């Protein structure tokens, strides 16, 4: 046998090696505008956290009983998500027909109006109305995730979704820092804000600043963001990168990552009753909903625990200290997500990374009673408490990786792009309900636990432990593998 025949035989019998697809460049301009619009929501929601407890105390709704502050603060924090839960699915379904961009613009207008109204509110019911307005008009998060799914393909979807935690990190950084720094400006900056208006409306400045940021986002979206809905987009190329959203054959319109067995023979929107009966869609949505419930319960509990006097089991921090500490978390979280998130996702896989991240909730929650115990033992906040706070911050950074991974699972569950809005609408409805319940649940349980000394003052933490265990169990039911996104 000649050498050439031998080579030919080897080539014919050798197994074919899998060829990795080259990553499609991200449409950076369009993605940047979309992420800027996404940033408006965490800034608007988080900026009230450093001062909401003080505001509730000042408007007199508690009748002078500081232990009841948690009840009313949690209710106000929950109203946005409660109102959003009633309308977000309709907005998302509407975006499947009329387009993503118009729905996104309506949400930004509603958020801007709500921010201004919240800053001008000096009674409990005006706070309720202004907070609810934003929720009723806002279906943006679900629409934004749909647009990211349409701006990307299987090679760069994970990279794009990894930027969402970064955006929320920036929002969690800027929002609380802005709320803590700009609240009561007549006291902090008397040389600039000395008029009677700033005395009567001491929390208007951070809310107005958030509204201005939202207005900028609205202008950029209206002028420069391109439609991505199949059949509605005017330009198939964005920033030099082809969008997989134009008129296509039905099999081309199926999303690039498929994690379910739903059969699709058309590029028309799938009926809602079909979507809600598919376990491959419901399982990732249930994980997302429980994740949001626990995380927002934790985030609502965190500033309340920080601000509660040490005599009642808290740390007794001032709003400026709370805002600075939460801003530090946002900075570290953002850097970590940018540097490590995509690499860890590629190395570990989506399911293992998600399970590891959500497991961090158990030690995260355990650190609250640990810090309270140290404060009672030492009589004040000491270096050991600051060390525990730093450990809690590190665990929060690790936990935050769970969001990028679950976004990929949810997007991959959509049977086609014309149903992507509905799937994201279902997920956002679930999350909005969870987020509506979470702040009131955790802050009310904290107040009740402190007031009644339930389980030695630890009842709220025990409940959160149980929820974290259920989430970890539910995470094991996610698909084991997703296709390579490189």
Dist CA 248 CA 255 (whole Å): 12
CA–CA dist 18, 40 (Å, integer): 42
- The whole-number pLDDT of residue 241 equals 37
Q: Is 242 helix (H, G, I), strand (E, B) or coil?
A: strand
Contact 409/479 with Cβ under 8 angstroms? yes
Q: Are the beta carbons of 278 and 260 closer than 8 angstroms? A: yes
pLDDT at 58: 86
Residue 320 lies in a domain: yes
Residue 73 lies in a domain: yes
Give 361-374 as a DSSP string. Answer: HHHHHHHHHHHHHH
Please name the helix (run of DSSP H) or strand (run of DSSP E) that holds residue 241, with its range, or none: strand 241-242
Domain count, the chain: 1
For residue 237, the surrounding DSSP H or E stretch is strand 237-238
* Residue keyed to tokens 């609240």: 183
d(CA 147, CA 52): 33
The rounded distance, in Å, linking the Cα atoms of 111 and 213 is 10
In a domain, 355, yes or no: yes
Q: What is the pLDDT of residue 313?
A: 67
Is residue 3 situated within a structural domain? no
CB neighbour list of residue 3: distance below 8 Å, 6 or more residues apart: none
Residue with tokens 């050991």: 384
**How many Å apart are CA 140 and CA 464, to the nearest integer?**
28
Per residue of the chain (486 residues), what is the pLDDT tens digit?
A: 444 444 444 444 444 444 556 777 888 899 999 999 989 988 888 888 888 888 888 887 777 776 677 778 877 877 877 787 888 888 888 888 888 899 999 999 999 999 999 999 988 889 989 988 888 887 787 888 888 888 887 667 777 877 877 787 788 778 888 888 898 898 888 888 888 899 999 999 999 999 999 999 999 999 999 998 876 665 444 343 333 333 333 333 444 444 444 554 456 666 667 777 777 888 999 999 999 899 888 887 887 778 777 777 677 777 777 777 777 777 787 778 777 877 787 788 888 999 999 999 999 988 888 888 887 777 777 788 888 888 988 899 899 888 888 888 888 877 766 677 788 888 888 887 887 788 777 877 877 777 777 776 677 888 888 999 999 999 998 887 654 434
Could you tell me the residue range of the domain that residue 304 belongs to?
A: 26-229+258-475
CA distance 144 to 421: 9
**Residue 323 domain-assigned (yes or no):** yes
- Residues 200, 128: Cα–Cα separation, whole Å: 19
Burial class (CB in 10 A: 0-12, 13-18, 19+), 38: buried
Confirm whether 20 is domain-assigned: no
**For residue 481, is it within any domain?**
no
Say if 7 falls within a structural domain: no
CATH number of the domain that residue 151 is part of:
1.20.1250.20
Cα four-point dihedral sign 174, 180, 185, 189: negative
């Amino acid at each position: 046998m000649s050498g050439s025949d031998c080579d030919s035989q080897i080539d014919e019998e050798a197994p074919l090696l899998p060829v990795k697809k080259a990553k499609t460049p991200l449409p950076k301009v369009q993605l940047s505008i979309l992420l800027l619009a996404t940033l408006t929501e965490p800034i608007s929601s988080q900026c009230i956290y450093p001062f909401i407890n003080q505001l509730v105390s000042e408007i007199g709704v508690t009748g002078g009983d500081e232990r009841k502050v948690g009840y009313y603060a949690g209710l106000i924090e929950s109203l946005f998500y409660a109102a959003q839960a009633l309308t977000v699915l309709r907005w998302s379904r509407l975006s499947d027909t009329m387009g993503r961009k118009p729905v996104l613009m309506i949400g930004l207008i509603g958020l801007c109006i709500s921010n201004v109204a919240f800053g001008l509110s000096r009674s409990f019911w005006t706070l309720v109305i202004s907070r609810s307005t934003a929720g009723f008009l806002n279906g943006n998060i679900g629409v934004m995730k749909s647009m990211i799914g349409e701006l990307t393909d299987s090679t760069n979807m994970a990279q794009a979704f990894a930027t969402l935690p970064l955006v929320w990190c920036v929002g969690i950084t800027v929002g609380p820092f802005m709320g803590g720094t700009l609240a009561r400006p007549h006291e902090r900056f008397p040389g600039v804000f000395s008029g009677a208006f700033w005395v009567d409306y001491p929390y208007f400045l951070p809310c107005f600043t958030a509204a201005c940021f939202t207005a900028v986002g609205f202008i950029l979206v209206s002028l420069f963001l391109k439609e991505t809905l199949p059949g509605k987009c005017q330009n198939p190329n964005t920033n030099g990168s082809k969008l997989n959203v134009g008129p296509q054959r039905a099999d081309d319109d199926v999303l690039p990552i498929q994690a379910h067995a739903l059969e699709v023979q058309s590029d028309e929107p799938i009926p809602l009753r079909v979507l809600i009966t598919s376990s491959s869609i419901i399982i990732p949505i249930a994980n997302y909903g429980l994740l949001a419930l626990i995380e927002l319960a934790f985030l609502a509990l965190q500033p309340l625990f920080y601000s509660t006097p040490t005599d009642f089991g808290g740390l007794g921090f001032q709003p400026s200290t709370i805002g600075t500490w939460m801003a530090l978390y946002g900075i570290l979280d953002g850097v970590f997500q940018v540097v490590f998130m995509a690499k860890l996702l590629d190395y570990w896989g989506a399911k293992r990374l998600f399970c590891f991240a959500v497991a961090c909730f158990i030690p995260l929650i355990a650190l609250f009673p640990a810090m309270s115990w140290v404060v009672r033992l030492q009589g004040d906040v000491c270096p050991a408490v600051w060390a525990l706070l730093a450990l809690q911050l590190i665990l929060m950074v690790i936990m935050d990786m769970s969001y990028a991974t679950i976004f990929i699972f949810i997007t991959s569950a959509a049977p086609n792009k014309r149903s992507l809005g509905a799937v994201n609408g279902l997920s956002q409805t679930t999350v909005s309900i969870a987020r509506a319940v979470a702040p009131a649940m955790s802050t009310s349980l904290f107040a009740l636990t402190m007031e009644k000394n339930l389980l030695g003052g630890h009842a709220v933490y025990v409940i959160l432990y149980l929820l974290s265990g259920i989430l970890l169990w539910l995470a094991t039911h996610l698909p084991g593998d997703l296709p390579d996104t490189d």
